[in-house]
Amino acid sequence: MLKRAFIFVAVLCLALAADSAAQSVVPDSTPAIGLARPDFFNRVIANQKKGEAALDLYERIERVETRKNPGDPAPPVIKILRVVPSGTGMFRIPVGDDGKPKDSAAYRGDLESLARALALLVNDAASQRDALEKYAKKKKDRNDLIDAAHNAFLFTFAAYEQRGDRMLSKYKMEPNPAFKRTSRFSAIFPKVRGFVWVDEASGELARVEGNVIEDISVGLFLGKIYKGSHFMQERYEFLPGLWLASFSQYDFDGRKLFLSFSVHERTFYSNYRYIGPPKEALAAIHQELGLAESDKPHADDTDR
């Protein structure tokens, strides 16, 4: 779990760093502090938050490839998961290469577990209130980091690049020496640099790629992510006006306590499908399970 916490912090900082790419959206030879086009900048931030909120309404398929070394041609570990928003996080169900169940009984058991978790929320079960509060705080902290990121970096226009039928603006991203940390997480911003690509027509982040330029201490110096660790993410318009991740890769080396670790993971995201907030999601899962109304769990059943 500690290793996953390290990864989350690093990925979060690198990904959120890109949300401020509109600081200097007019091509220039020098970085610029301040908002050259504040309306466009606000649009990029709003779009990123929109994408974040959509993750609570859309299920997806994830193909996660884990390698021992970044250059390994064939990943020794591949996991394919159906990822469904549960109201307090993401519920992951193993599936086969085609996105369908490998084991029908196990798959149905997972769906039934998901249905019970959703029913607890729909029925406002007391047992879920702490989980709801924690999830709400997590989302608020992430949005606060998105807002803070616009002061954390300086951007220099690098080039225009064509991607399919869209023109992207590429910017070099470097730490802003005037940045003042606003939280323990935002203190990591000065330790990353990289590039961001922005789709100017839509005001959407299309790609971010970053590197850790100084060791990052995590958890009161109980661990570190080492300099040279790398992250990238690609985003596309999956539905009109809705941009979501299609691919992410991270290559991290570090240590937790006195043990070294190395993580090299690639994730492909596909089959985004609207499933809705918990009440709608519960109805969809019940339909998938083929439950009759009399078989569905009620408030008295789900809060025992």
In this predicted model, what pLDDT tens digit does every residue of 73-122 receive, in sequence order? 888 889 999 999 999 999 999 999 888 898 999 999 999 999 999 999 99
* Mean pLDDT, range 30-42, rounded to an integer: 51
Among 5, 18, 6, smallest CA distance to 206 is for 18
Is the pLDDT confidence value at 212 over 60?
yes
Bridge-partner residues for 266, per DSSP? 65, 249
Q: Check whether 276 has a pLDDT greater than 50.
A: yes
Could you give the CA distance from residue 162 to residue 255 in angstroms, rounded to a whole number?
Answer: 39
Higher pLDDT, 58 or 177: 58
Residue 92: exposed, middle, or buried by beta-carbon count in 10 A (0-12, 13-18, 19+)?
Answer: middle
Q: What are the phi and psi torsion angles at 219 (to 5°)?
A: 70, 55
Query: Strand pairing of 58-67 and 230-239?
Result: unpaired
Q: Tell me how far apart the alpha carbons of residues 155 and 176 are, in angstroms, rounded to a whole number.
A: 9
CA separation (Å) from 297 to 89, 117, 279?
Answer: 21, 10, 13
Confidence of residue 220 (pLDDT cuts 50, 70, 90): low
Which residue in 236, 181, 191 sits closest to 212, CA to CA? 191
